[in-house]
């Protein structure tokens, strides 16, 4: 990565110190403690003169919001969240999970990657923009939201429905991508452009004599993101002739053989169907790809499994979402990646997990998940043990994301 004058050693130390302090506030999902972290960020912002506030729609569910106005009210949202996953086995950690220990130029603790590291990156970037003498062409807003790990109802969802500034949002940068992948000497980095949906149906009093259908997968049409990803990753003879066939899935598995992190081809090509039997009911859980008529899909599943004799009730629905690839912000992500990491290619990715981006995409606002990590980042520890963020990754993220934000807003 090329040198940059944006992130000085002193600035990096300050960022690591803020991250350490945030980790020491144990905002575990479901404990309603995000307001403590939001108030801490408010104090940091007040020290630098950043226009900010804390909004608390529910006791303990405080979100931090900062805003820099531009010539246009059109706004770029820099999104992250304050709550963190639970810690099941703290004795397995190298350092106590909420100690925020700084050792060997690394910050250790729950939330270092998911998602307090990105909170700090956005705060640093807003402070850098605030010190510039040049006026912004577009406005910038940062939200460090509450409640993401618990569904988002008192965080991003509530904010975009109730805060007037959120009506001006035109594009979003968030978590969910930026993961480096190395396959057969090819370097890729993901950008989350969409998320699978989820539908839960329930039928009561199923016949005890009826066998429970086995879990399965239904072929889904290729989304624009998956199509673009395959075109980049697969050799042209395969991508041109067999893009939507099983050959693509097989070759993708071969390509990733032996890689430390990989993409599940089944997640990219198929809807997932799972059944769960209870004492008095049976649940039908369907994970859907974007661009699918979910009503038709459910009808097909029920017909194929001969389940129409049961009375199905929809319990919950979370529609799949996908952002366009011909968007100006997505183009800037590619340009900045080429500048700082020229040996990496960006690949759009539909993720099986959820982020708060879905609340913006449902309103027609393009959202992209991109928190660029170094290969040493422990992706599997985000909800597991020994989560950490190195100084090198923190520096890289600030430099690349500042470049993206500057292109879009200056």
350 and 196 in contact (C-beta within 8 Å)? yes
Residue 306, CB half-sphere, CA atoms under 13 Å: how many?
Answer: 4
Q: Residue 46 in contact with residue 24, Cβ under 8 Å? A: no
Q: Where are the domains positioned within the chain?
A: 9-180+323-409, 197-318
For each of the chain's 410 residues, which pLDDT tens digit applies?
Answer: 444 569 999 999 999 999 999 999 999 999 999 999 999 999 999 999 999 999 999 999 999 999 999 999 899 999 999 999 999 999 999 999 999 999 999 999 999 999 999 999 999 999 999 998 789 999 999 999 999 999 999 999 999 999 999 999 999 999 999 999 887 778 999 999 999 999 999 999 777 666 677 888 888 888 999 889 988 888 877 766 777 667 777 888 887 777 767 788 777 888 999 999 888 899 999 999 999 898 899 999 999 888 888 899 999 999 999 999 999 999 999 999 999 999 999 999 999 888 999 999 999 999 999 999 987 766 655 788 999 999 999 999 999 999 999 999 99
Which residues, 6+ apart, have CB-to-CB distance to 333 below 8 Å?
Answer: 191, 346, 368, 370, 404
CB 388 within 8 A of CB 378: yes
- H-only helix segments in 132-274: 156-162, 224-233, 236-241, 246-255, 265-269
Residue 15 near residue 410 (C-beta atoms within 8 A): no
What is the DSSP secondary-structure string of 381-409?
Answer: GSSSS--EEEHHHHHHHHHHHHHHHHHHH
Q: For the domain with range 9-180+323-409, which CATH number is right: 3.10.520.10, 3.10.20.810, 3.40.630.40, 3.40.630.10?
A: 3.40.630.10
């Amino acid at each position: 990565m090329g040198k940059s004058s944006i992130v000085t050693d002193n600035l990096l130390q300050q960022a690591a110190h803020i991250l350490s302090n945030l980790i020491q506030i144990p905002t575990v999902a479901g404990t309603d403690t995000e307001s403590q972290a939001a108030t801490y960020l408010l104090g940091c912002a007040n020290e630098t003169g950043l226009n900010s506030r804390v909004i608390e729609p529910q006791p303990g569910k405080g979100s931090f919001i900062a805003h820099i106005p531009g010539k246009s009210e059109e706004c770029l949202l820099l999104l992250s969240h304050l709550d963190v996953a639970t810690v099941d086995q703290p004795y397995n950690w190298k350092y106590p999970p909420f100690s925020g220990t700084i050792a060997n130029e690394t910050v250790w603790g729950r939330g270092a990657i998911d998602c307090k590291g990105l909170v700090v990156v956005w705060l640093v970037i807003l402070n850098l923009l605030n010190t510039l003498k040049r006026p912004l062409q577009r406005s910038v807003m940062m939200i460090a939201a509450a409640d993401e790990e618990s569904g988002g109802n008192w965080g991003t969802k509530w904010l975009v429905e109730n805060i007037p500034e959120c009506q001006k949002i035109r594009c979003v940068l968030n978590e969910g991508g930026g993961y480096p992948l190395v396959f057969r000497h090819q370097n890729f980095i993901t950008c989350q452009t969409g998320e699978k949906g989820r539908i839960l149906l329930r039928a009561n009093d199923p016949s005890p004599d009826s066998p429970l259908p086995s879990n399965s997968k239904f072929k889904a049409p290729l989304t624009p993101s998956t199509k673009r990803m395959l075109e980049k990753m697969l050799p042209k003879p395969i991508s041109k002739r067999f893009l939507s066939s099983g050959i693509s899935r097989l070759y993708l598995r071969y390509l990733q053989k032996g890689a430390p992190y990989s993409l599940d081809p089944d997640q990219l090509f198929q809807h997932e169907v799972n059944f769960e039997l209870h004492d008095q009911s049976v649940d039908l859980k369907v994970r859907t790809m974007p661009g699918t008529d979910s009503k038709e899909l459910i009808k097909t599943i029920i017909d194929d499994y001969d389940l129409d004799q049961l009375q199905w009730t929809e319990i919950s629905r979370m529609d799949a979402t996908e952002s366009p690839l011909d968007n100006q912000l997505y183009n800037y992500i590619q340009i900045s990646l080429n500048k700082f990491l020229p040996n990496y290619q960006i690949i759009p990715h539909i993720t099986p997990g959820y982020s708060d981006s879905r609340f913006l995409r449902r309103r027609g606002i393009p959202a992209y998940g991109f928190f660029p990590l170094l290969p040493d980042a422990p992706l599997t520890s985000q909800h597991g043990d020994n989560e950490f963020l190195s100084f090198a990754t923190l520096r890289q993220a600030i430099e690349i994301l500042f470049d993206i934000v500057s292109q879009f807003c200056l």
